[in-house]
């Protein structure tokens, strides 16, 4: 059976559901493109219709599309293709007025030095493009600030339940599927604003059922939830090592999630030596998962699964009986509460890692604490400006590092000075980049010195004092960059 998300993709913007304001803004961007000639970023959660809207727009405008994916190729290939297509106009392959629409999907996957300047190169290309360019991103703030500032931006929000249900209803009628309205509502409710997932769920249930009922939808959800708790019973209480491993094959969870379920629930039944042995097995599983993340070699998953299932089952010293209240990992609840802080931390760590050639883990553990200490409340202003320029930070992330409010004049001025600094100096490498940035800032201060003294001299004296502090604070910067 064909993929319904492709078969029933909207062909015009009028068919795009659930994001009327975004749809209208996209049409306005296209119809006025000759006036502003700027690229546009469509950003929002996965599955809310960003890519579909871009293709529907192209159909409405009569523009052929060139679709590229930032995840598929390295900077050199993809930037050359974007540059080539974006520079051409009036050719035989062009649509209305010789236009074509360049669509760059997963544009948030361009990251500074990781792509050998990919983000900066894309920014340069779109600034001079002779063709309309649409960039599509799930994580808006994973894109460089200079790239974001060079484009118009349109946010696609999660699709509401009342917008998803009519789409599912239309698909059922076109596919000849009998359905209960309550079944469509149950699917829309369970997919949390992801229209693509709702269509996928509809197709999955329709392939198994002659008639779509609410009971079929609810049963499917209940079976997935029941599966993990049955599995925990088998691993922790009932099965031997080999049987526990086999049981994991039927659970719809990745090893990364499965280890959290087991780790959080095993202490409810194990204690003493058997708990220590179970945690030893889980630690070995975690090391194998670390190798998967480091090498992207997913064959290591089987070794992780062996340890977290067979290893834990083998640690059992005595029979376990009765009923245990298992629950979702508390780790997930903690992640949910701190997600905003983690997103800011990871954004900054990624910028540091890409610029300095280190890992994100090292950036989080070894670099961020030093930056936070040296730029606390922006007291070392020159270093804070240099840091902001070097890592292309915005007010939100400067605030996260320094502890100063993102809406304060102090932080806004630092971000503005950093933007000017980036325009004046291309910060390259990791070795004396901050030193060069500090010299540029100092030269600018010297150029603007008040020759008559007075307030100008006072300002210079204050900056000189701060510069002295900056020298002391930065003396060890090269040691950890």
HEC-encoded secondary structure of 134-166: EEEECCHHHCCHHHHHCCEEEECCCCCHHHHHH
Same topology, domains 4-155 and 161-212? Answer is no
Domains of the chain by residue range: 4-155, 161-212, 223-334, 339-480
Provide the whole-model pTM: 0.50
The pair phi, psi for residue 202, each rounded to 5°, is -60, -45
What fold characterizes domain 161-212? Helicase, Ruva Protein; domain 3 (1.10.8)
Q: How would residue 266 be classed by pLDDT, with cut points 50, 70 and 90?
A: very high
CATH code at 4-155: 3.40.50.300
d(CA 108, CA 111) in angstroms, rounded, equals 8
Mean pLDDT of 98-107: 84
Can you give the pLDDT at residue 328?
A: 78
- Residues above pLDDT 90, as percent of the chain: 29
More confident of the two residues 342 and 406? 406
Task: Report the pLDDT value the prediction gives residue 86, as an integer from 0 to 100.
Answer: 61
Strand, helix or coil for residue 324: coil
pLDDT-based confidence at residue 312 (cuts at 50, 70, 90): very high
Distance CA 63, CA 436 (A): 46
| Number of residues that this document lists for the chain | 481
The answer to whether 18 touches 160, Cβ cutoff 8 Å, is yes
pLDDT value for 475: 34
Nearest one of 42, 54, 48 to 153, comparing CA atoms: 42
Average pLDDT along the chain: 78
Q: What is the pLDDT of residue 453?
A: 43
d(CA 202, CA 412): 48
pLDDT at 139: 82
Whether the pLDDT of residue 440 is over 80: the answer is: no
Determine the average pLDDT of the residues in 264-268. 92
* pLDDT at 458 (0 to 100): 42
The closest of 455, 454, 437, 456 to 446, measured between CA atoms, is 456
For the beta sheet containing 40-43, the strands, ordered from the edge strand earlier in sequence to the opposite edge, are 65-69, 101-105, 133-137, 40-43, 152-155
pLDDT at 431: 47
Mean pLDDT calculated for residue range 401-416 = 88
pLDDT the model gives residue 76: 54
Least confident of 55-59, 174-178, 472-476: 472-476
Q: Which SS3 state, helix, strand or coil, does residue 212 take?
A: strand
List all residues 6 or more positions away from 414 whose beta carbon is below 8 Å from its beta carbon.
Answer: 378, 381, 384, 385, 388, 398
* Confidence tier at 296 by pLDDT (50, 70, 90): low
The predicted structure's pLDDT at residue 174: 92
Q: What is the pLDDT of residue 39?
A: 93
Between vectors from CA 24 to CA 128 and to CA 110, what angle results, nearest 5°? 40
């Amino acid at each position: 059976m064909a993929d319904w998300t492709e078969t029933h993709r909207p062909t015009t913007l009028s068919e795009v559901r659930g994001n009327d304001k975004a749809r209208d803004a996209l049409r306005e961007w296209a119809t006025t493109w000759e006036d502003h000639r700027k690229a546009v970023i469509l950003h929002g959660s996965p599955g809310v219709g960003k890519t579909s809207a871009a293709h529907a727009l192209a159909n409405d405008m009569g523009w052929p599309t060139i679709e590229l994916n930032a995840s598929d190729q390295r900077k050199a290939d993809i930037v050359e293709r974007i540059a080539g297509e974006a520079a051409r106009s009036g050719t035989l392959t062009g649509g209305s007025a010789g236009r074509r629409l360049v669509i760059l999907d997963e544009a948030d996957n361009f990251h500074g030095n990781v792509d050998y300047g990919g983000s900066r190169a894309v920014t340069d290309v779109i600034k001079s493009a002779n063709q309309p360019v649409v960039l599509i991103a799930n994580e808006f703030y994973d894109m460089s600030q200079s790239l974001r500032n060079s484009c118009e931006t349109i946010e696609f929000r999660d699709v509401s339940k009342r917008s998803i249900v009519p789409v599912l209803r239309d698909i059922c009628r076109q596919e000849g599927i009998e359905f209960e309205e309550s079944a469509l509502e149950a699917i829309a409710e369970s997919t949390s604003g992801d229209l693509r997932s709702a269509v996928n769920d509809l197709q999955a249930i329709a392939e198994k059922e002659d008639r779509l009922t609410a009971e079929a939808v609810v049963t499917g959800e209940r079976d997935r939830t029941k599966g993990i708790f049955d599995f925990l019973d088998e691993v922790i209480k009932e099965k031997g090592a080999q049987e526990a491993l086999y049981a994991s094959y039927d659970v719809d969870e990745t090893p990364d999630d499965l280890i959290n379920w087991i780790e959080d629930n095993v202490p409810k039944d194990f204690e003493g030596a058997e708990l220590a042995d179970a945690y030893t097995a889980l630690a070995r599983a975690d090391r194998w998962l670390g190798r998967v993340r480091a090498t992207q070699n997913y064959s290591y998953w089987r070794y992780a699964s062996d340890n977290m299932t067979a290893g834990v089952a083998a640690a059992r010293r005595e029979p376990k009986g009765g009923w245990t209240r298992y629950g979702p990992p508390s780790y997930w609840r903690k992640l949910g509460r701190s997600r905003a802080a983690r997103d800011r931390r990871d954004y900054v760590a990624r910028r540091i890692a890409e610029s300095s050639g280190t890992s994100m883990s090292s950036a989080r553990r070894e670099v961020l604490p030093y930056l936070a200490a040296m730029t606390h409340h922006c007291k070392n202003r020159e270093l804070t400006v240099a840091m902001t320029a070097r890592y292309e930070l915005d007010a939100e992330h400067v605030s996260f590092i320094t502890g100063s409010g993102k809406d304060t004049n102090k932080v806004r001025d630092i971000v503005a000075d950093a933007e000017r600094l980036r325009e004046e100096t291309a910060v390259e490498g990791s070795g004396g980049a901050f030193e060069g940035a500090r010299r540029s800032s100092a030269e600018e201060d010297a150029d603007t010195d008040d020759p008559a003294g007075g307030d100008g001299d006072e300002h210079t004296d204050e900056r000189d004092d701060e510069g002295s502090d900056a020298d002391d604070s930065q003396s060890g910067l090269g040691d950890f960059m």
